[in-house]
Chain A
Amino acid sequence: MHYCRITNEDAVLDGEKLLSFEGAADTGEKLLALYRYVAPDYPKFYKMDLLSKTSFLGVELLKSSCSGLASAPEDAVALLFANSESSADTDIRFRDSYEIERLPGPSLFVYTLPNIALGEISIRNKWYGEHMFAVFPNFAPAYFVDHSALLLDDGAEWVIGGWVNVRNGPDALIFAMDKGENRSRDGFMSRLEDSLEELYRD
């Protein structure tokens, strides 16, 4: 399994620190620094909201360490995401657009759904697979374990899992696993819940 962690402090890929966010003033600047580091050729990035930017960058990072993803069948990459905020960051901005600025902003409104991030990842990678966004009160490793296994048993060759919050700065754990890892379910999958918990707390 490959994973990346994006937090207020830094971006880490498979345990290795790639980029420190020291000196960056806010979440937008941190994500811009990471964009310049990992994928500086995708101008659509600038239009995305913070949830989409963070999710998109996490997947770009994973692709750099996980060569199999690039050749994965376009129908067989499943996106399994969740968070505790839904799209609240952009929801508040959209509410402000009509309550304060007195002009509802359509370019904000289209990002007021958490699964838009999955659309952005799909567009970037031309992935046409299953995709699901769930909302929990707090980090939910069992969700990723159960549904990764189900998706890999139900036609997916790869699952990209992602827990992504942005309201208090970026807080993302994004990981990729392929069907081979699911075959050893008794070993790898039984430890996955603890592994995810550990990676998230680190």
Chain B
Amino acid sequence: MGVSVYIGAEAIVSPLGQTAASNMDQVLSGHSGITLQERIGWKESDVYAAILQGMSGKEKFEQLLEQSLGAAAEQWDPSLLSSEDTLLIISSTKGGIAGDITNPFQPVVSRLETRFSLRHRPLVISNACISGVVAVNTAARLLKAGLYKHVVVAGSDVVSDFVLYGFQSLYAVSDEPCRPFDRDRKGVSLGEAGGALVLSAERSSFAGEPFLYLGGAGANDANHISGPSRTGEGLVRAVSKAIGKAGIDSREIGFINAHGTGTNFNDEMESIAFGRLGLEHIPLNSLKGYWGHTLGAAGIIETAACLQMMRRGSLAASLGYRSQGTSVPLNVLTGNEAPETDIFLKTASGFGGGNAALIVKKI
């Protein structure tokens, strides 16, 4: 008898809203949080990015995590956050680097431990852009082994000089809002956000109806530290393993929420991988056109958005996409559409050659 893992109580805090529902109202209306930010870039260049107003830079990371956790707990059972049976996993690439570069995570982790009376030391996962999906898969593994009854995963990253100058130094930042999978895509738009999800072995702990986590896996490209594999090897392996662990036929997947950063190489790599997997015909979107690339938060807020889209029966158009721009044609959503099945696949890929995938079913 395996443990069933439920996932829900999704929260998103971003320039588009303070809750997952308010974010999705904006997304499904086609609104983007990406705007032109004057003089925030290297040498005071203007840059398109999704920036949260009204929070100061140094406290943003903490506030985003705290608000996301609070919003998730409200849709779950807030008293369980401080239970002996609950672990918090935090997903972030650079954390509070704008504060203390030598200690980007612990000050905030300590404050969250106090603020929410956490019983176990939180696990901070810093695995580049796949951190969020790795965090969810790790949470599920802990629950299946019976080490905890509940795991809350929260992710956040903010747009700092450090990260922005870095992406600019790689010539990876688009001079217009990013356009994932489009023929004329020119790179990423960065974004900042927080998000949270609850995974639990107890279906009844959720205030609303949770989803069923079916399976997930990670794989490395073993190819290059800063460029994706040209063959999509790691992504193919991660998705194949996730499908195997979920115990489903790949034809049961009705929707793919891809990583889709808007860089030439990443989106091309994903198309090759989905082609090799025989999944290229499945309706697919990238949500980076709404929130930008939120790095360590991306896997969390985009999985949260998938739950919202499935709840509402409306898959969001892949904002910024107009015409086929990958060597393997994909079924990129150009308008909001109803899902064809109850099962979706979420993928992520990132620096360090990392890839991760997870599969979730609506119940």
Identify the A interface with B (CB < 8 A). Answer: 74-75, 79, 85-86, 88, 91-92, 94-95, 98, 104-106, 109-116, 118-120, 122-123, 125-137, 143, 146-147, 149-151, 153-155, 167
Contact = CB atoms under 8 A, between A and B. Distances in A.
Contacts of B124: 134-136
A110 B106 contact: no
6 contacts: A106-B166, A109-B166, A115-B126, A128-B234, A134-B125, A150-B141
B332 to A, nearest CB: 27
B360 interface: no
B219 A128 contact: yes
Given A122-B221, A128-B220, A128-B233, A135 B126 contact: yes
A114 B101 CA distance: 14
Nearest to B165: A104
Contacts of B128: 113, 115-116
B265 interface: no
A146 B147 contact: yes
Contacts of A114: 126
A130 B126 contact: no
A115 B169 contact: no
* 5 A-B pairs closest in CB distance: A119-B352, A109-B166, A122-B220, A104-B169, A110-B226
Given A122-B353, A128-B237, A91 B106 contact: no
Contacts of B166: 94, 104, 106, 109, 112
Nearest to B135: A132
A146 B147 CA distance: 9
B222 A123 contact: yes
A154 B141 contact: yes
Nearest to A137: B106
B127 A75 contact: no
A198 to B, nearest CB: 21
Contacts of B165: 98, 104, 109
A95 B101 contact: yes
A132 B225 contact: no
B151 to A, nearest CB: 12
A131 B145 contact: no
B112 interface: no
A23 B284 CA distance: 58
Contacts of B95: 86
Interface in B41-90: 42
Interface in B92-131: 93-95, 97, 101-106, 109, 121, 123-128
Nearest to A130: B218
